[in-house]
Amino acid sequence: MAWLLVIVAGILETGFAVCLKLSHGFTRLWPTVSFCVFALGSFGLLTLALRRLDVGPAYAVWTGIGAAGTAIYGMIFMGDVVSTLKLVSITLVIVGVIGLQLSGSAH
């Protein structure tokens, strides 16, 4: 259950990163409100998950999902440049996060 919280928190991290961009420095109301909702949800779920999980692997999974999700979202919906190096790098982030998760102790 704790890992599910981390995964959802990571998805919410993608949401707050995208909304941060769309807020244009917190000058647009609804993207700013959305950023706050996503950020509070993400940090709240991560906090709950950390009650049961080691901080290193949990944080790595959270940030990995957020980083990879944000990069993928940007390429699909925001016109970010797609390159082979970017796709390989995203894959390496995901593989690294999986490796950290597998190397951690189970609770």
- The CA distance from 57 to 4, in Å, is 13
Alpha carbon separation from 55 to 19, 28, 35, 42, 97 (Å, rounded): 26, 34, 24, 15, 13
Average pLDDT value for residue range 14-26: 97
Q: What is the pTM of this model?
A: 0.89
Rounded to an integer, what distance in angstroms lies between the CA atom of residue 3 and that of residue 84? Answer: 30
C-alpha–C-alpha distance, residues 50 and 58, integer Å: 7
Provide the mean pLDDT of the chain: 94
pLDDT band for position 72 (50/70/90)? very high
